Amino acid sequence: MASVTFEQVTKRFDDFVAVNNLNLAIEDGEFLVFVGPSGCGKTTSLRLLAGLESITDGQICIGDRRVNHLSPKDRDIAMVFQSYALYPHMSVYENMAFSLQLQGVNQTEINKRVQSAAAQLGIERLLQRKPKELSGGQRQRVAVGRAIVRKPAVFLMDEPLSNLDAKLRVQARKEISKLHQDLNTTFIYVTHDQVEAMTMGDRIAVMKDGILQQVDSPGNLYNNPNNLFVAGFIGSPAMNFFDVEQTTNEGEPCLKLGENLISIQKYLPQFIVDGGVTFKDRPLTLGIRPEDIYHPQYLPPDIPTVAVQATINMIEMMGNELIVYLTTAEQGEFVARFDPRATVKQGETLDVLWNVQRLYLFDREMETVIA
């Protein structure tokens, strides 16, 4: 087990900055997930930690050891790659034993560790097979097994589930979370899949364009995003965003949403500082999540709402919910999650109800959250 620290870490490929001044402290035993769109620098961050890329600036520590100049084999880490990278001419047993043989571990100990990892992963019966005789899910387990036998201080995983079908991925997700609990070791995991990130991570580091946007627990990322990018990236369907104007109603500051005036004092009190509206003259973006927009017949009690007239463009019946795509003349398109019992039709115009206690407000230019 070990903590991992990135201190002002930058990686440039020629003049392209792939990772920009990354500061991140990962606790001993934590499951930390890097997530972000393709090209955001998450794999590069992992490869810098593994020693597979050199650091341009800053330092990385594993425990209290600065590892910048240590070769991968001396960093006490084990990595599971997206491709699994199994040796095709070796059996499962040989694949799992190989790195231990290189380290000069004695045969009795190798045998013990391989058998124990195979039992933990349920692949004891496959030890004599070659990788080509395995299913995708079995190969993925062998790749994990090969990491386990090394008993590393830190496990690094780069999209290890992306070659599996949807059902197997859900199962493998649970297995990796269980493995983390059993081994009680630091796991650092890279994915572009926000569901994987949300279900597996103790904390999630969201990256964009080489810059860490926010690192937080899944619940905090969802409920308290720092900026427009995080708010839009975490959650599916994504949060709806609208440009809004500030105005006043009988002297009271309000946001104008179609025909509605939303009292800032009442519903977005965080926005009032020292009796005045902060960011008074800034352009604003309002955010609301699809589940905070209700069909009028299925509004739970005691939720303060404003009604917004909208026309239904498309409906997706998911069984447990309806995903409904709507348009208004003023706000444009948005998406809502309705109770599946709601009776709705394509082309219908209705008043949908927005929970005004669940609104987010962002500075449109700075892209940061205000309230």
Tokens of 309: 């007239």
d(CA 361, CA 205): 22
- Bridge partners of 67, per DSSP, are none
Which residue from 6, 9, 24, 43 is in contact with ligand ATP, where contact means CB under 6 A?
43
Q: Is 213 in the site for ligand ATP (CB under 6 A)?
A: no
Q: Is 131 in the site for ligand ATP (CB under 6 A)?
A: no
* Residue number with CB closer to ligand ATP (82 or 138): 82
* Residue number with CB closer to ligand ATP (58 or 258): 58
Q: How near is the Cβ of 320 to ligand ATP at its closest, in Å?
A: 30
Q: How near is the Cβ of 36 to ligand ATP at its closest, in Å?
A: 6
Q: For residue 248, give Cα distances in angstroms to 215, 227, 252, 256, 268.
A: 37, 26, 5, 9, 14
Q: Is 355 in the site for ligand ATP (CB under 6 A)?
A: no
The stretch among 40-48, 71-79, 132-140, 236-244 that binds ligand ATP (CB under 6 A) is 40-48
Q: How near is the Cβ of 40 to ligand ATP at its closest, in Å?
A: 4
Q: Is 41 in the site for ligand ATP (CB under 6 A)?
A: yes
Q: How many residues bind ligand ATP (CB under 6 A)?
A: 12
Which residue from 38, 181, 184, 320 is in contact with ligand ATP, where contact means CB under 6 A?
38
Which residue from 44, 140, 185, 331 is in contact with ligand ATP, where contact means CB under 6 A?
44
Q: How near is the Cβ of 158 to ligand ATP at its closest, in Å?
A: 8
Which residue from 7, 28, 39, 261 is in contact with ligand ATP, where contact means CB under 6 A?
39
The stretch among 41-49, 172-180, 345-353, 356-364 that binds ligand ATP (CB under 6 A) is 41-49
The amino acid that residue 191 corresponds to is: T
Please, which of residues 148-207 interact with ligand ATP by CB under 6 A? 192
The stretch among 10-18, 61-69, 146-154, 345-353 that binds ligand ATP (CB under 6 A) is 10-18
What is the residue whose two structure tokens read 């402290």? Answer: 25
Which residues make up the interface to ligand ATP (CB under 6 A)? 13, 16, 18, 36, 38-44, 192
